[in-house]
């Protein structure tokens, strides 16, 4: 998994041998732990405890003290279970930093905010470490927008400004955590509506949702955002009341008549790509549309036009792979983008990405086969 791969890479950075700028060998960052692991005295869980201890030490502790503490834990690690070693590491950390003194650099190193994957019910977990400044800012926002009676989605006319009425306050049955959620949503919604965020990849910073006309008319199914989030149709319909609507009509997978002679893709073309590609088209890539760039399958210097049916989404790392003599792209008969690796990697094997189109797998379609299909497909963005 991606999490396991990241764990191994980060562990190797701490325990693996290093090389200096002039080529001389350098001991691992956690030399004692690396030696104990090679000797079979430490397991992955003990190594994780020691790595966490070392990374959480404040920056003012000198290197010699750090090395002694790490060596002590590595020597004791083989004698204790991971939970006991964690308790020992906590006691040692208290001894080294009894006053809990941390610098701005220490707090900056720990700051993080991670949006977890969507669960089966559509909900997502938010976790991280907030800096004192972000916490203070969030407290001020929630004190206003998360107060009882404010921003209550159950009210017919929710109060988003001013002071809520006594009736709204008394009728607010939400928990404090639910009020915080609704207050944060209201604040971010107001920020998007203000227009102060400017543009992102050629379009105003906004929520972009694609869905089919059939699902929209029957109020069933789900919409897909440019970030890869699945929105219930009830949310899509509610958002559409204050949105600009676009209708994209596809003929055998190709958008009809949307091109110009400028090199950069127009906003309308980018919106169609959200409906058509949904994300990076490189094989196996999971990057959603918000974080991609627009690529010409036929080089602009050759065709001198920017045709929607010759454009595709590609994330930054994969976009940079597209060079003469390296990876290339072209469109198949279905309008899908095929990525062709250089001969030394895989000779004559065009590949497509079905990650953003799971419905094709359910229908038994193979994107790597250059066969055509019948029927038109309408999508609304």
CB 310, CB 260: distance < 8 Å: no
pLDDT at 157 over 70: yes
pLDDT at 297 over 80: yes
User: Mean pLDDT across the chain, nearest whole number?
Assistant: 86
d(CA 52, CA 328): 43
116 exposure class (CB count in 10 Å sphere: 0-12, 13-18, 19+) = exposed
CA dihedral (299, 302, 304, 310) positive or negative: negative
CB 95, CB 131: distance < 8 Å: no
Q: What is the mean pLDDT of residues 141-169?
A: 94
pLDDT at 259 over 50: no
d(CA 203, CA 291): 12
pLDDT at 372: 43
Distance (Å) of CA 126 to CA 17, 114, 151, 286 = 35, 6, 20, 20
Strands (E), the chain: 18-19, 25-26, 112-118, 124-129, 199-200, 203-204, 209-212, 222-225, 230-232, 247-251, 254-255, 259-260, 292-296, 306-307, 311-315, 328-331, 337-340, 376-380
- pTM attached to this predicted model: 0.69
Coil, strand, or helix at residue 318?
A: helix
> In whole angstroms, what separates CA 221 from the centre of its chain?
23
pLDDT at 260: 47
Count Cβ atoms below 10 Å from residue 24 Cβ, excluding itself. Answer: 8
* Helices 63-77 and 44-56, axial angle in degrees (round to 10): 160
Q: What is the mean pLDDT of residues 65-81?
A: 94
Burial per residue of 207-218, b for 16 or more beta-carbon CB atoms within 10 angstroms, e otherwise: bbbbbeeebbee
CB 187, CB 145: distance < 8 Å: yes
Calculate what percentage of the chain has a pLDDT beyond 70: 88
Give me the residues paired with residue 230 across strands.
224
pLDDT tens digits for range 181-225: 999 999 999 998 888 888 887 777 888 888 887 887 788 888 889
> Between these two residues, 248 and 179, which has the higher pLDDT value?
179
Domain map of the chain by residue range? 2-110, 126-194, 247-380
């Amino acid at each position: 998994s991606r999490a396991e791969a990241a764990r191994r890479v980060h562990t190797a950075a701490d325990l693996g041998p290093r090389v200096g700028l002039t080529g001389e060998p350098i001991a691992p960052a956690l030399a004692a732990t690396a030696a104990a692991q090679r000797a079979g005295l430490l397991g992955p869980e003990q190594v994780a405890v020691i790595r966490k201890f070392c990374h959480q030490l404040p920056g003012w502790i000198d290197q010699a003290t750090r090395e002694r503490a790490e060596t002590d834990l590595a020597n004791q690690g083989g004698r204790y279970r991971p939970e006991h070693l964690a308790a020992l590491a906590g006691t040692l950390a208290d001894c080294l930093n009894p006053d809990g003194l941390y610098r701005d650099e220490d707090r900056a190193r720990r700051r993080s905010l991670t949006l977890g994957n969507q669960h089966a019910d559509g909900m997502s977990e938010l976790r991280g470490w907030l800096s004192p400044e972000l916490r203070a800012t969030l407290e001020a926002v929630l004190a206003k927008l998360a107060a009882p009676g404010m921003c209550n989605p159950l009210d017919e006319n929710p109060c988003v400004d001013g002071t809520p009425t006594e009736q709204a306050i008394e009728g607010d049955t939400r928990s404090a955590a639910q009020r915080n959620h609704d207050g944060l949503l209201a604040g971010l919604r107001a920020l998007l509506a203000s227009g102060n965020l400017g543009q992102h990849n050629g379009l105003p910073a906004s929520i972009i949702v694609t869905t089919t006309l059939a699902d929209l008319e029957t109020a069933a199914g789900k919409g897909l955002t440019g970030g890869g989030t699945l929105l219930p149709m009830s949310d899509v319909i509610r958002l559409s009341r204050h949105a600009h609507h676009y209708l994209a009509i596809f003929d055998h997978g190709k958008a009809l008549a949307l091109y110009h002679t400028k090199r950069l893709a127009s906003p309308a073309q980018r919106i169609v790509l959200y409906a058509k590609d949904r994300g990076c088209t490189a094989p196996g890539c999971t990057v959603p549309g918000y974080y991609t760039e627009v690529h010409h399958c036929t080089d602009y210097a050759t065709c001198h036009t920017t045709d929607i049916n010759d454009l595709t989404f590609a994330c930054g790392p994969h976009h940079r792979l597209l060079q003469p003599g390296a990876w290339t792209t072209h469109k198949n008969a279905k309008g899908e983008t095929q990525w062709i690796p250089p001969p030394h990697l895989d000779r004559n094997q065009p590949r497509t990405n079905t990650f953003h189109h799971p419905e094709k797998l359910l229908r038994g379609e193979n994107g790597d086969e250059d066969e055509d299909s019948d029927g038109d497909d309408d999508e609304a963005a």
